[in-house]
Amino acid sequence: MNRDLNIKVHHLTRVEGHGNIVVNMKDGVLEKAHLSIVEPPRFFEAMMKGRSFHEAAIITSRICGICSLGHQLTSLVTTEAALGLEISEQTRLLRKLLVHGATLQSNVLHAYFLAAPDFLGAGSVFPLIATHKDVVLRALRMKRVANDIGDIVSGRAVHPITPVPGGFTRIPEKAELLEIKRKLLEEALPDGLETVETMKALAGAIPQFERETEYISLKHPDEYALYEGAIFSSDSGLIPVENYLDVTNEYIVDHSTSKHAKYNRNSYFVGALARWNNNNSQLGDEAQAAAEAMGLKPNCYNPYMNTIAQVVEAVHCILDSVRIIDKLIDNGLKNEKPNQTPTCYGRGIGSNEVPRGILFHDYTYDNKGNIVAANCIIPTGQNLANIDDDMVKLVPEIINKSKAEITLALEMLVRAYDPCISCSVHLLEVDFIE
Amino acid sequence: MAALTVIGVGNRLRGDDAVGPLLIDALATLPDLDLELVDAGSDVLGILEYFEGRKHVLVVDACCMGKESGTLVSFDPAQAELILDKDPMSLHGLGLAEALGMADSLQMLPGNLKIIGIEPDSIQFNSTLSPPVQRALKLAIEKVQAEVQQLSVREEN
C-alpha cells in the first residue's frame, strides 16, 4: 500500500517522563519511526563528584522519585565494590526482601494503572475506578504491602534511610517481619493470584506482535536473579558485571536526549520479559503456573507481554519474600552494625535488576572516600533502541489500520516497556473556579 | 491519632518542588504540635494510605497556579479544578491531581482535606529553594500552626 502516514504523539501520557512518538511514512516507505526523548539530561554523574561514600546512595536514590530503592541499592553495591566493604548474609537477605517489595509494587502498578487501561481500551485508569473499584483497591492493597516492606526494612517507603554502605543502621524486629509475612500470605498472595485471573481475562486484548531481539538481564546460578548475578545475554551468554561497558556501548542519536545502547545487535531488551526469557526455569511452581495461565511461554518475543512477565514476577516476589523472612528468622536476627571501614579505594561497579531492567552504577573513589568519577546506566536508556526497532517492524505490519489505531498500538508498545524517562517532579496544575 | 496529618509532596532535588518535604522537616523541629508528618517524596499514590482513618489532612505541594512565584494558596480541592495529566512536568503516570481524583472515586477522601499550594519559581535540578519560595515556606509553617490551634480550639469546644 503506497500510503503516507505522519504520526506525532507529543508528550506521551502515562509514561514516566517526556517522550514523543514520531512516525513518517511516504509512498509506503517508512522514513522514520522512533521514540524521541525530550527530557533534559540531569547530570547526576556530575552531581556525584566530590561527594563522600556516605552520600552517594542518598543522591542517586533521587534519580527516580518512585523507584528510588533500586538506585539506592545499586549505589550501595557499587560503593562496597569500590571500597572493599564486605556485607553479611543478613544484609544480603534484607536487601533481597527490599528488592522484592519494590519489584512487586512497580510491576503491579504498571500492570493495573498503565497497561490494563490499554487492554480495556479505556484511555486511562480513571474511567475504570468507578466500574472496577475492587480491582483498584486490590492494586492499592498490594502497593501497601510493598510499602510496608520498605517501611519496616528500610525505615521509609520512599527514599529509604536505613540501608547504608556495609549494611543497615537498623535491623527489623522479628515481630515486624512476621507481620509482613502475615500480610504477604493473607493479603498479597490472594491479591496476586486474583491479579493473574484479571490479566488472564485481558490477555486476548494484548496485541500479537513479535520481534525476536537480544535479551539482557542478570543471571544467578541459584535463584531468579534480581539482587545479584552476572550479566547474561540471550545471544552470547555470561559477561562479568565489571565488563558492563562492553555490553552497553552507549551512543548518541539525534532524536533523543537520552543515550541509546547496543551489544550484539542493533538493540537489546531489558526488563521483566528479558528476565523471564533468560531465567524462567528458576521461578517456583506458583509463578510458573501464573505464566502458563496468562499464556506467557519461554522465549516470548512479544514486547507487549512484558506486562504479563511483570505479573508473573509479582507472584514470585510475594512468595520468595516469605521464604526470605523465614530464613532471616531461622538464622536469628543479629543486631549488626554496618561495615564502613574501607579496605581499598578506586573503582567499583555494581548492578541490580530493578523493575524496568538491569541497572549499572560505576564509581571511582579517591583515597579519602570521595567520588572522582561516576556513571549510571539506567534500564530505560538501554531499551530505547529496542523500542525504535520494534516500531520500525510494527508500523508496516499494521499499516492498513486507521491512524488512530496505529497511534494507539505505538503508545501501548512504549507503555509496555514501562519507561521511566524522568519521574522526578510532581507539580500540581490548578485552575481555580472563579 | 494526631490532630492533623500533614503530607509534603515533592522531590528534594528539584528546586522549589522540594517545598513540601522541607516543610515536613521544619515542622518536625517544632515542639508541642500534635501532628502526624509524612514526607511522601514523589510517591503521590502513597498518600492515599494516609487518608484512611484520618479526619484532618493537609497536603503541601508546589502547584502551578499561574500566580506569582512564592504565592501560597490554601484551598479545598473541591474549590479548584485539578488538571489531570496535562501538565508536561507531571506526566509521571500519576500526580497529585490523579491521586486525589482516585481517592474521590474510591470515597477515600478525608472529611477535612486542604491543600497548601505554593507557586514555584524554578523546578530545575537544584538543592535550594528560590527566595520567594523560602518566604512561602515560612508562611506555610505559620499556616500549619494556625490550623492545629484552630482544630484544638474546636476540639475543646
CB of A265 within 8 Å of a chain B CB? The answer is: no
Instruction: Supply the pLDDT for residue A21.
Output: 84
Task: Identify the pLDDT of residue A122.
Answer: 78
CB contact under 8 A, A428 and B63: yes
pLDDT class for B92, splitting at 50, 70, 90? very low
Chain B CB within 8 Å of residue A147 CB: yes
**Span A85-92, mean pLDDT?**
98
The confidence band for A424, taking pLDDT boundaries of 50, 70 and 90, is very low
Hey, where are the domains in chain A?
Answer: 44-390
CA A393 to chain centre: 24
Residue A433: phi and psi, rounded to 5, are -80, 110
In the predicted structure, residue B86 carries a pLDDT above the cut 60? no
Closest CA in chain B for residue A147: B46
The CATH number that applies at residue B56 is 3.40.50.1450
Average pLDDT of the segment spanning A355-362:
94
The distance of A344 to chain B (nearest Cα, Å) reads 31
Instruction: Domain count for chain B, please give it.
Output: 1
Q: Does B84 touch chain A (CB under 8 A)?
A: yes
Q: Residue B88: what pLDDT?
A: 30
Measured between beta carbons, which residues in chain A are less than 8 angstroms from residue B43? 65-66, 157-158
Give A141's Cβ-side CA count (13 Å radius).
19
**pLDDT surpassing 50 at residue A423:** no
Closest Cα in chain A to B43? A66
- Per-residue confidence (pLDDT) for residue A17, from 0 to 100: 54
Nearest CB partner across the interface for A430, out of B45, B83, B94: B83
Q: What is the mean pLDDT of residues B57-74?
A: 90
Q: With CB atoms and an 8 Å threshold, state whether B95 touches A428.
A: yes
Partner residue opposite A426 with nearest CB, options B10, B66, B106: B10
| B109 touching chain A per CB within 8 A | no
Contacts of A129 (CB under 8 A, 6+ apart): A136, B102, B105, B106
The ipTM is: 0.78
User: Could you tell me the pLDDT band of residue A11, with boundaries at 50, 70 and 90?
Assistant: low
One-letter amino acid of A195: T
Q: pLDDT band at residue A433, thresholds of 50, 70 and 90?
A: very low
Helices A306-331 and A272-279 meet at what angle, rounded to 10?
Answer: 70
Residues from chain B that touch A158, judged by Cβ atoms under 8 A, are 39-43, 46
Q: How far is A21 from chain B (nearest CA, A)?
A: 15
Asked if B71 reaches chain A (Cβ–Cβ under 8 Å), the answer is no
Q: Nearest-CA residue of chain B relative to A133?
A: B106
A407 pLDDT more than 90: no
Span of A28-37, A71-80, A416-425, B132-141 with lowest mean pLDDT: A416-425
Distance from CA of A26 to the nearest CA of B (A): 30
- Do B91 and A125 make contact, defined as CB atoms within 8 angstroms? no
Which of B49, B63, B95 is nearest residue A147 as measured by Cβ atoms?
A: B49
A140 part of contact set with chain B, CB < 8 Å = yes
Range in A169-183, A331-345, B118-132 with the lowest mean pLDDT: B118-132
- Assess A189–B contact: CB distance below 8 Å, yes or no: no
Structure-block grid coordinates of residue A264: 550484539
Does any CB of chain A come closer than 8 Å to the CB of residue B44? yes
- pLDDT at residue B94 is higher than 80: no
Tell me whether residue A337 is exposed, middle or buried, using C-beta atoms within 10 angstroms of its C-beta: 0 to 12, 13 to 18, 19 or more. exposed
Question: B6 to chain A nearest CA, in Å?
Answer: 16
Of B79, B93, B96, the CB nearest to A428: B96
Q: What is the mean pLDDT of residues A394-415?
A: 89
- Residue A168 is predicted with a pLDDT of 97
A1 touches chain B (CB under 8 A): no
- Is the Cβ–Cβ distance between A312 and A283 less than 8 Å? yes
Strand arrangement, sheet containing A29-37: A5-9, A19-26, A29-37
> Half-sphere exposure of A321 toward its Cβ, with a 13 Å CA cutoff?
32
Over residues A44-69, the mean pLDDT reads 82
Q: Do A113 and B94 touch (CB under 8 A)?
A: yes
- Closest-CA distance of chain A to residue B156, Å: 34
Q: What pLDDT was estimated at residue B91?
A: 33
The shortest C-alpha distance from A101 to chain B (Å) reads 14
Chain B contact probe: residue of A12, A35, A430, A434 with most B CBs at under 10 A: A430
Q: Which CATH architecture has domain A44-390?
A: Orthogonal Bundle (1.10)
Q: Identify residue A64 by its one-letter amino acid code.
A: C
CA distance A279 to chain B (A): 29
Tell me which residue of A320, A278, A378, A276 sits closest to A70, measured CA to CA: A378
Per-residue pLDDT at B89: 32
Q: Which of A13, A114, A428 sits opposite B61 (nearest CB)?
A: A428
- Over the stretch A212-256, which tens digit does the pLDDT of each residue have? 999 999 999 999 999 999 999 999 999 999 999 999 999 888 887
Burial B92-123, CB ≥16 within 10 A → b, else e? bbbbbbbbbbbbebbeebbeebbbbbbbbbeb
Helix, strand, coil abundance in chain B, percent, nearest 5: 40, 25, 35
Pairwise CB contact (< 8 Å): A126 & B102: yes
A183 at interface of B, judged by CB pairs closer than 8 A: no
Residue B150 C-alpha, separation from nearest chain A C-alpha, in angstroms: 25
The neighbour count for residue B142, using CB atoms within 10 Å, is 10
Query: How many CB atoms are closer than 10 A to CB A29?
Result: 11
Residue B23: which domain range? Answer: 4-156
Q: How far is A48 from chain B (nearest CA, A)?
A: 13
What is the arithmetic mean of pLDDT over A393-415?
89
